[in-house]
Amino acid sequence: MSLLGGLTFSYPWLLAALAALPAIWFLLRVTPPAPRRVPFPPLRLLLGLDAPEETPARTPWWLLLLRIIAAAFIIIALAAPVIGENKAPVTNGPLVLFIDNGWTAAHNWDDRQSLIEETLDAAARAERPVALVATADPQTTIDLLDAGKAERIARELAPRSWLPDRKGALAALAKTKFAGKPEIVWLSDDVDHGDAIATSEALAKIGSLTVYRDARGKGPLALEPEDATASGYTVPVLRGDSEGARDGLVEAIGARGERLGGGEFHFLPGKSEADAKIGVPPEVRNQIRKLTISNEHAAGATRLLGADARHKEVGLVSAINVESEQPLLSDLYYLERALGPFADLHKGTIEDALTRKVSVLLLADIGRIAGADYDRVEKFVREGGVLIRFAGPRMTENTDDLVPVKLRNGGRYLGGAMAWAEPQHLAPFPDASPFRGLTVPEEVTVSRQILAEPSVELSERSWARLSDGTPLVTAAQRGKGWVVLFHVTAGPGWSSLPLSGLYVDMLRRLMDLSSGVRPAELARDADASFAPLSVLDGFGEMHKPSADILPIRGGELVRATPSAKHPAGLYGAEGAEIAFNAANRDTLLTPLPELRAIMQTYAGATTIALQSPLLVIAILLLLADAVLSLWLRGLLVVPRLPRGLGRTAGLFLIALVLMPQHSRADDAFDMKAALDTRLAYVITGVSDVDDMSRAGLTGLGLILKTRTSYLPEAPLGIDLDRDDLSFFPLIYWPMDPRQKELSPQAISKLSDYMRNGGTLLIDTRDRTLGGEPNNSPGTQTLRRLLGKLDLPPLQPVPADHVLTKTFYLLQTFPGRWEGGKVWVEALPPAEPGAAPSPARGGDGVSPVIIGGNDWASAWAVDNTGQPIAAVSSGSTMQREMAYRFGVNVVMYALTGNYKTDQVHVPALLQRLGKEK
């Protein structure tokens, strides 16, 4: 009874409806089930027949019971029973809900929401006025609402991507006048935020205070700024309490929400920080848009990655690579160290780098980009690439024009033993420079540089200057891309810039140039302003920014934490967006201290609402009732078991017997085709043509057996739709107008066959190809069937084609008819001036040989070996020549260009002899 002890009903008066159940019972009893309908021709004989028993048809008692139970369940469900403690209101005074709805509350928001709902439900029953105070939503005044309206507002309440402002909320609450002493429920986020005690004291002054906090081990988690590593990221994870161990998973999520990688973290007992190492393959690294703790659903557990987190593909080319083999890599070494953590580097020649599709190309001390490379680089820049060049000894003389400004020959020495001037410091960066906002360290000096010829545009093209005004970095736009020149070397030879952090920052900014961003937008100084691109809600989901979100200043971006004015999200221009994350290095998740108030924990739903399960049970019962009713009416056919079983078993047996047979048949064909090299013909579906093909290839096979070393087995017919063609070196295909259109599979199979070295011998059987107007039925069929095939360019067999020499020396190719032309793949033209070769063949065999002489008929023999069809001239010689052509074609298909090479044997032997 302990379970039922807590059973209460929200609408107990509805239970009165249970009294109506007997009435329902009675109604259901007298309503008979719908009858089965049967068509019956001799109905006339039935009319007037009286059933001897007059009792009305009854619904069976068990069905009735089922329905009554379903009805009872519905009534009880409508009364909304609840198991659990029933919070009786302490007073009838006003209720204040003081809700922390920063991202720190988001991970457990459902519990908070249900607590709010329950409390408001109770308040509604007691008709208490309610004030809702959401600490993360800036409020100036707080209104007392009736509980129903408060419930509607509370349903809209959501966590924000910034931290709560308890002081502001308290100030607003303090101004509110209450009729009596209010009961205050503080639904805290269980984070101190440094003002918990002050807040609780202030609240306790206003009314009686109850504080809710997270259960142990269920506090919020946050992700601190990530560190890029070679294989991915390392992210520190922060938790509030440090009790017990806690495990979790940080996932790397792409632009479309796809999971690209992940890493686990384990909090040791007593520790409030743990690292998650996320490994991602380098290919997908740039697709990562955010890191998030799985199942945490909070803005603080989500880290957006800005454009600077994306790795650029960077080509590194040094003069050394090009001009000497000496491994003197010092220039490249500094660039590698500077760019390595945030770019994928490809070293090698300019050509190598550009073929790797780099977006930024760095050239260290390459004086002149030579020849073809110049065109490549010029094209690369014009199409949007960023070329960053560093000066060096080679650039002092005679450079090319892929530089932003005209350079003066010879360098400038400062501070050397023979020089007048001291090494120069850097001047602050000009406004138009992408480096604006970077701090210039004092210790960076430049002792040698390349000077630019003075010109009008020099000042606007200078992105960095020395303190004497001479340019250090110049840049100019070329086409869609940029050319940037550092007037010093990439290594520390000419300046100490490569030794400073500024060098890294400058290079990083330049990487983003390739995203098509204007240089000024790259600057991140305090005054630059960045419009929001997309913002996070408290659950860590991205949204379009609403109109009232203001652009953020660069200064705030660095210092400030997100607020209602500037929520966490991505700011800046597309391609150079800056991540403004909810949690940063200063984030602290210290749990609430013990307060002088009633402390309770969110225990999930403290009550269990039984309404939904009861309704589900009722619906299931009604469904069962529907099925049973159908069965009673005979509308549901339940096959008698033995018969049904027999039928099913029969079907299974049939399936079992049929399926392996089918595959066995295929296997048999494949085995047959694979174990012997066979001649094959296409089954056209026209039986006389197919019979002739088979007889023809049989006859040709006999000739091959007697005359050559090739001993073919009986020929096979091929169904283009079903069979695998790859076993056959040569397929004979007679054209018949009655043949059906090829299926797309057959066409792709044929083109695969031809591409992979097979030969189709196509016979139009009309002797009209070439010469006569070729619109005979065979040719038309050829066009119809092969129109969709990718045929190579064809030519009539030239006199020196290898087909005329593979076994017999032939110049005509008669079949049953004589004289038609035979077409093969066009050979590459003979090289002019080459010695006339006795035989020419392409590389490999012609994928198709087309003629119209009806060869199969000439070859065809019956079972006794006698020819079946007469040849046109009637002479034995013509049939002999037809066989010779057949032998040549088969040899051609089998040996490929081996025969072509054979003609060189005498020349090779002669050459070998000479060398000896």
Partner 1 sequence: MTQTLREDAERAAGALPPLLVAAERLSSAVSLGVHGRRKAGIGESFWQFRRYQSEDAAQNIDWRQSARSQNLYVREREWEAAEAVWLWRDATAGMRYHSSGATTTKADRATVLTLALASLLIRGGERIALIGQDRPPSTGRVALNRLAHVLIDSAPGDAALPPEAPVTKNSQAVWFSDFLSPLNDIETAMKRLARAGLSGHLVHIIDPAEQDFPFTGRTRFESIEGALTALFGRAESVRDGYRARFKAHGEALSTLARRMGWSYLAHRTDKSAQAALVALYAHVGGDRKKG
Q: Which residues bind partner 1 (CB under 8 A)?
A: 32-47, 49-53, 55-57, 632-634
Return d(Cα 712, Cα 702) in angstroms, integer. 8
CB environment 616-647: b (16+ within 10 A), e (fewer): ebbeebbeebeebbeebeeeeeeeeeeeeeee
DSSP letters, 152-171, are: HHHHH----SS---HHHHHH
DSSP letters, 598-661, are: EEEE--S-SSEE-HHHHHHHHHHHHHHHHHHHHHHTT-S----HHHHHHHHHHHHHHHHHHHHH
Q: Closer to partner 1 by CB, 39 or 865: give it.
A: 39
Burial class (CB in 10 A: 0-12, 13-18, 19+), 446: buried
Q: Minimum Å distance from CB 782 to partner 1?
A: 24
Q: Closer to partner 1 by CB, 643 or 914: give it.
A: 643
Q: Minimum Å distance from CB 660 to partner 1?
A: 33
3-state secondary structure of 396: helix
Q: Closer to partner 1 by CB, 36 or 585: give it.
A: 36
769 contacts: CB under 8 Å, gap ≥ 6: 779, 820, 821, 822, 823, 850, 851, 852
Tokens of 72: 């009872």
Pairing label, strands 232-239, 221-223: antiparallel
Q: Closer to partner 1 by CB, 19 or 45: give it.
A: 45
Q: Closer to partner 1 by CB, 34 or 370: give it.
A: 34
Q: Closer to partner 1 by CB, 33 or 393: give it.
A: 33
Q: Closer to partner 1 by CB, 51 or 834: give it.
A: 51
Return d(Cα 578, Cα 253) in angstroms, integer. 17
Tokens of 746: 């057959």
Q: Minimum Å distance from CB 786 to partner 1?
A: 25
Q: Minimum Å distance from CB 57 to partner 1?
A: 4
Q: Minimum Å distance from CB 48 to partner 1?
A: 9
Residues 265 and 250 sit within 8 Å (Cβ to Cβ): yes
Q: Minimum Å distance from CB 735 to partner 1?
A: 23
Q: Minimum Å distance from CB 58 to partner 1?
A: 9
Q: How far is CA 448 from the centre of its chain?
A: 49
Return d(Cα 213, Cα 594) in angstroms, integer. 10
For residue 209, CA distances in Å to 174, 186, 592 come to: 15, 7, 15
Q: Minimum Å distance from CB 638 to partner 1?
A: 14
Q: Minimum Å distance from CB 889 to partner 1?
A: 38
Q: Minimum Å distance from CB 640 to partner 1?
A: 12
Q: Closer to partner 1 by CB, 1 or 49: give it.
A: 49
Pairing label, strands 259-267, 302-304: unpaired
Q: Closer to partner 1 by CB, 47 or 657: give it.
A: 47
Neighbouring CB atoms inside 10 A of 165's CB total 20
Q: Closer to partner 1 by CB, 27 or 635: give it.
A: 635
Return d(Cα 71, Cα 534) in angstroms, integer. 51
Pairing label, strands 273-279, 232-239: antiparallel
Q: Minimum Å distance from CB 646 to partner 1?
A: 17
Can you state the angle between helices 61-78 and 21-30, rounded to 10 degrees? 140
Q: Closer to partner 1 by CB, 631 or 652: give it.
A: 631
Residues 718 and 726 sit within 8 Å (Cβ to Cβ): no
* End-to-end Cα distance, the chain: 112
Q: Closer to partner 1 by CB, 50 or 586: give it.
A: 50
Q: Minimum Å distance from CB 633 to partner 1?
A: 8
For residue 663, CA distances in Å to 100, 652, 682, 900 come to: 68, 17, 21, 41
